[in-house]
Amino acid sequence: MAGVPHVRRPLGVTPTALLLLGAIYCLFPVCWVLIAATKSPGELFSTSTLSFGTGFFDNVRELFAYRDGVFWLWGANTLLYAGGGALLSTAVSAISGYALAKFRFPGRNLIFNLLIGGILVPAVVLAIPQYLLFSKIGLADSHWAVLLPQILHPYSIYLARIYATAAIPDSLLEAGRIDGAGEWRLMSRVAMPLMVPGMVTIFLFQFVAIWNNFLLPFIMLGDDGKFPLTVGLYTLLAAGANQPALYNLILTGAFLSIVPLIALFLTMQRYWRTDLSSGAIK
């Protein structure tokens, strides 16, 4: 109303302050790793914690040259596990979620309830049984031992089912069936484009989870030529107890391993839009 002065609500500042505190809490370790990665071995333990050093490029060169460039091999393995696993998991989750959301068949609710139960099971509980199964069929200490367990992810299927229910109108599918479109065509040409924002979310969640996964490859793999970055840097950390100079390489490697995740989020955020369904329906 005109003439009524605007009164700032004091409670509106509280959520912003909490978000800022959460951001500082999450970003401070990243900033510390960035600062520590710039220090030479002599500066790492002698200079101030939050002061930049002068040895970043020397650390990078030494890291890339360590053991004939094994860091590159670890990075390639990580990209294979995270990229391949996330793509396959996204495809399986999207198709499964679409089927659970849009088809009626016996046992549908039971399957969905089992998925909900699967979300509650910690991955650490399944690691040892998975190793025993893969060892029995001869796939332990192989890339498949890390890649295959990541494909079927209950939480991703749950997200896909919820998103498909909300984003794909039943009337749109019925109109396609009346026009003579088959189920495969409806799924590939109608349903999947509408699910792109949800699929991007699933892909990002899975990519980050697999990229940062440590326990599964640590249990499954014995050949360091198949290690991802997490396990490879852990072996450097274990060796650093006797060679303190390796700590700089560990910190530099940890910082470089974060960079692809940041680039991925910045690149794919443009697909994170919720208005695609309105444009597709039109």
For the stretch 183-236, pLDDT in tens is: 888 888 888 888 888 898 899 999 999 999 999 999 999 888 899 999 999 988
Q: Which of 248, 258, 254, 210 is nearest to 232 (CA)?
A: 254
Split at pLDDT 50, 70, 90, the class of 160 is very high
Question: Residue ranges of the domains in the chain?
Answer: 36-281
CATH homologous superfamily for the domain 36-281? MetI-like (1.10.3720.10)
pTM: 0.85
Q: How far is CA 195 from CA 115, 189, 217, in A?
A: 20, 11, 31
Q: Which pLDDT tens digit goes with each residue over 62-79?
A: 999 988 889 999 999 999
pLDDT at 115 over 90: no
pLDDT at 281: 46
Split at pLDDT 50, 70, 90, the class of 274 is very low
Other Cβ atoms less than 10 A from the Cβ of 273: the count is 12
Segment 33-40 shows an average pLDDT of 87
How far is the C-alpha of 176 from the C-alpha of 14, rounded, in Å?
Answer: 49
How far is the C-alpha of 223 from the C-alpha of 248, rounded, in Å?
Answer: 24
For the four alpha carbons of 28, 29, 32 and 37, in that order, the dihedral sign comes to negative
In the block, tokens 């409670």 appear at 11
pLDDT at 47 over 80: no
Q: Which pLDDT tens digit goes with each residue over 171-184?
A: 888 888 888 888 88
For the record, the structure tokens of 40 come out as 């030479």
The fraction of the chain above a pLDDT of 70, given in percent, is: 89
Of residues 3 and 93, more confidently modeled: 93
For the record, the structure tokens of 192 come out as 């999947």
pLDDT at 132: 92
Average confidence score pLDDT of the chain: 85
